[in-house]
């Protein structure tokens, strides 16, 4: 293979030639990795002649860029490149908005610039457009010689949504699945979430955050960050007893099953899934008999939801119906069913319309309950209400890459290079979206995902926000450390988030932990995307000392820890290290002892920082275990920052030792299956202590 050809093509496809790891070491990307990434993008790397033709096409001036980002209410230029032999030719322009209204005009100008490529000259014609309101447009160019080109025009506000008058606030973060309560069916549900939101609102808090609610491929995985789809959600969180079709007399007959699920030490996903699926199908049969087709107001609401969601929901519902027959990985399905637009899939849908409509019904119920929670939060005075979480990707063979297959790269996984927590790097198992395919499709999948996740959300966390700029690709058959970064169209993607954020009045939290350079953080914050700051990582590097509260940025969301890190009580006791040591997750005894020593140092650093801020007495001795006084002082330290939001972990409210997820562990640790040590009915008293601390710092309502 011609290495120069591969290098040139890799450059045009956005493959970065090198990267710096978290320790500042430079890694040059090998020709093997570049070839693997190009292959994953669907390029014919085994055919040099085909690659040369492709490279020529990539380098030749494009008639029109496949996507353009512009600011709303401003005049801007796009450029049309035509062979100069056409001279001062009239250019016909068509601009279609989201309502399918079309305006057109003709431009006849001399080229602003003449370009030369491979001995041919091209005129670069300026086309002035605008001002336009924010939104998505299709720009079409017609020129003599049967020259045609289309482009997605993204006209966006400069910044994402933030309330005009905003004061520093606080809220709570939790994993909904872990909730114990007196009324759920063995897993936290939307009724429990409503109770928690009421408690937080009553104490002056402004949001309740949950881990992703995405549909997951049970029973293969229970991780909320390993979804089948990022557009649609998991019915295990539904409050079935809050649905009109639920037979109120039916709980008595289910009580024995419910008691067994509630009494289990850990969440029994399989048991909850089977029970709720069975009852939902009974409810759907009752719904079809009484309400659908639209004989009643409820039936009409269902049809309105189905029409609003359109093809994406129909595709998802068809996928779910097919998965009940063939499994949740479409790559293992019969060949004729792998094309979502093919005749066999259409035939299946017609022949199994009841099974398809069932999954539409399920998503309608979820959407309705989330909408009610959002309205309830607003009535209670919460300014943000629901704080939802959007995972970085979806599983290979899942619903999203079946529906939007043309946007995804085949033969690669997204991940991360080695860092201090994952010395061999990470392979997340998600097929990345290919940037050039995203552009050619008009960002349909990205827009749909952003829009769906912001519905009913006062805030939305974007997992791994670095992926808006670059994403680490690992070619199939290679180790994570052999991967490469691929550039993404950040301006267009941030513009889309800004449009959807404003439309839905959703604050964006951009998770920017890890190897994220200052230029990325600055770009995100300049767009009003809040930085994600964790106390244990905020250091005055190269010194290990904590960043003082006053030096935190205002445009930030801060917390002590996350679901992948120890709880405050567990961290102080070193419980996480003991668990890792017992599971042989340390590469050596020396690394375990080094962690123990570093933890003692960090505890002393935290205590010194609290004393410096006057949050703990100078004569306070370091306790062996965390206590409430010390915990509240740590949260008051965060409450004192100028950050717009401070989050309290439900694990800290309940003084839990165990963390929800232990990276690196497998079946030897109950990842994502933990339950709260006590029911949420007991949370109001402990939560009030945090509210009091935040009031002292002028935070909250």
Residue found under tokens 């827009």? 447
pLDDT tens-digit series, residues 304-326: 999 999 999 999 999 999 999 99
Q: Which of 156, 173, 198 is where one domain is finished? A: 156
The three-point CA angle 548-553-557 to 5° equals 100
Query: Model pTM?
Result: 0.95
**Has residue 79 been placed in a domain?**
yes
Percent of the chain with pLDDT over 70: 98
Note the pLDDT of residue 82.
85
Q: What is the DSSP letter of 445?
A: H
Residue environment code for 340-378, b if the CB has 16+ CB neighbours within 10 A, otherwise e:
beeeebeebbeebeebbbbbbbbbbbbbbbbeebbebbe
Query: Who has greater pLDDT, 588 or 661?
Result: 661
**Has residue 7 been placed in a domain?**
yes
CA dist 133 and 70 (Å) reads 10
Looking at the structure, tell me whether residues 51 and 94 fall in a common domain: no
Q: Which of 37, 59, 81 is where one domain is finished? A: 59
Looking at the structure, tell me whether residues 115 and 46 fall in a common domain: no
Looking at the structure, tell me whether residues 31 and 78 fall in a common domain: no
- Dmax (CA) for the chain in angstroms is 85
What tokens appear for 688 in the block?
Answer: 């009030």
Query: In total, how many domains does the chain have?
Result: 2
**Has residue 503 been placed in a domain?**
no
What tokens appear for 675 in the block?
Answer: 């339950």
CATH of the domain at 147: 2.60.40.10
Please say if the pLDDT value at position 559 is more than 80: yes
**Has residue 381 been placed in a domain?**
no
402 close to 215: Cβ distance less than 8 angstroms: no
CA dist 515 and 396 (Å) reads 25
Note the pLDDT of residue 204.
96
Q: Tell me how far the alpha carbon of residue 665 is from its chain's centroid.
A: 23
134 close to 502: Cβ distance less than 8 angstroms: yes
pLDDT tens-digit series, residues 399-458: 999 999 889 998 999 998 887 667 678 899 899 999 999 999 999 999 999 999 999 999
**Has residue 526 been placed in a domain?**
no
**Has residue 471 been placed in a domain?**
no
CA dist 235 and 528 (Å) reads 33
Domain range for 44: 3-59
Looking at the structure, tell me whether residues 86 and 112 fall in a common domain: yes
| Element of type H or E holding 646 | strand 645-649
695 close to 204: Cβ distance less than 8 angstroms: yes
> Nearest-CA neighbor of 199 among 586, 681, 700, 525?
681
In the beta sheet, which residues pair with residue 229?
215
**Has residue 451 been placed in a domain?**
no
Residues 250/251/253/255 CA torsion (nearest 10 deg): 170
- What is the pLDDT averaged over residues 512-525? 89
**Has residue 110 been placed in a domain?**
yes
Alpha helices in 383-528 (DSSP H): 399-403, 435-440, 444-454, 490-504, 518-526
């Amino acid at each position: 293979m011609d290495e120069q050809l591969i290098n040139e093509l890799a450059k045009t496809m956005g493959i970065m030639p090198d990267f710096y790891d978290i320790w500042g070491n430079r890694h040059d990307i090998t020709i093997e990795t570049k070839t693997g990434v190009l292959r994953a993008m669907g390029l014919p790397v085994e055919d040099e002649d085909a690659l040369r033709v492709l490279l020529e096409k990539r380098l030749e001036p494009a008639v029109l860029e496949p996507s353009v980002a512009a600011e709303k209410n401003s005049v801007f230029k796009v450029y049309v490149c035509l062979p100069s032999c056409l001279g001062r030719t009239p250019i016909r322009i068509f601009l279609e908005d989201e309502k399918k209204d079309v305006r057109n005009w003709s431009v006849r100008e001399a080229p602003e610039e003449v370009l030369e490529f491979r001995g041919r000259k091209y005129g670069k014609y300026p086309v002035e457009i605008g001002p336009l309101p924010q939104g998505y447009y299709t720009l079409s160019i017609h020129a003599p010689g049967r020259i045609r080109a289309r482009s997605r025009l993204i006209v966006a506000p400069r910044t994402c949504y933030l309330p005009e008058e905003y004061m520093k606030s606080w809220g709570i973060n939790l994993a909904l699945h872990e909730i114990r309560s007196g009324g759920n069916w063995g897993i936290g549900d939307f009724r429990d979430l409503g109770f928690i939101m009421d408690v937080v609102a009553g104490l002056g808090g402004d949001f309740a955050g949950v881990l992703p609610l995405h549909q997951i491929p049970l029973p293969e995985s229970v991780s909320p960050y390993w979804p089948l789809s990022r557009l649609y959600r998991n019915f295990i969180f539904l409050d079935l007893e809050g649905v009109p079709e639920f037979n109120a007399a039916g709980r008595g007959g289910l009580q024995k099953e419910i008691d067994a699920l509630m009494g289990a030490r850990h969440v029994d996903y399989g048991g909850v899934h089977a029970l709720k699926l069975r009852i939902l199908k009974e409810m759907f049969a009752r719904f079809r008999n009484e309400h659908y087709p639209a004989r009643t107001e409820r039936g009409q609401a269902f049809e309105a939801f189905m029409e609003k969601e359109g093809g994406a929901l129909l595709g998802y519902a068809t996928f779910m119906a097919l998965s009940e027959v063939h499994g949740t990985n479409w790559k293992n399905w019969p060949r004729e069913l792998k094309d979502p637009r093919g005749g066999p899939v259409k035939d299946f849908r017609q022949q199994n319309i009841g099974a398809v409509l069932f999954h539409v019904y399920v998503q309608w119920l979820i959407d309705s309950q989330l909408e009610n929670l959002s309205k309830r939060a607003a009535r209670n005075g919460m300014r943000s209400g629901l704080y939802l979480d959007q995972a970085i990707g979806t599983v290979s063979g899942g619903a999203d890459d079946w529906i939007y297959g043309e946007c995804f790269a085949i033969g690669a996984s997204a991940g991360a290079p080695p860092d201090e927590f994952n010395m061999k790097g990470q392979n997340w198992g998600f097929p990345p979206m290919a940037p050039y395919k995203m552009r050619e499709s008009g960002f349909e999948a990205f827009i749909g995902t952003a829009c769906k996740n912001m519905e009913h959300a006062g805030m939305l966390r974007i997992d791994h926000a670095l992926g808006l700029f670059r994403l680490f690709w690992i070619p199939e058959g290679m180790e994570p450390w052999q991967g490469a970064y691929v550039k993404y169209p950040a301006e267009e993607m941030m513009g889309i988030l800004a449009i959807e954020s404003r439309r839905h009045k959703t604050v964006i939290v951009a998770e920017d932990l890890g190897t994220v350079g200052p230029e990325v953080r600055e770009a995100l914050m300049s767009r009003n995307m809040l930085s994600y700051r964790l106390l244990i990582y905020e250091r005055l590097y190269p010194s290990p000392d904590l960043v003082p509260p006053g030096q935190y940025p205002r445009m930030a969301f801060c917390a002590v820890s996350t679901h992948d890190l120890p709880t405050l009580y567990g961290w102080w006791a070193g419980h996480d290290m003991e668990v890792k040591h017992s599971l042989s997750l340390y590469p050596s005894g020396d690394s375990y002892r080094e962690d123990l020593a570093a933890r003692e140092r960090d505890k002393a650093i935290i205590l010194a920082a609290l004393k410096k801020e006057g949050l703990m007495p100078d004569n306070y001795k370091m306790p062996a275990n965390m206590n409430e006084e010390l915990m509240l002082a740590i949260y008051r330290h965060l409450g004192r920052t100028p950050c717009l939001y401070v989050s309290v972990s439900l694990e800290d409210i309940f003084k839990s030792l165990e963390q929800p997820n232990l990276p690196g562990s497998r079946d030897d640790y109950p990842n994502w299956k933990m339950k709260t040590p006590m029911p949420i009915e007991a949370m109001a008293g402990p939560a009030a202590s945090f509210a009091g601390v935040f009031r002292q710092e002028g935070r909250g309502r």
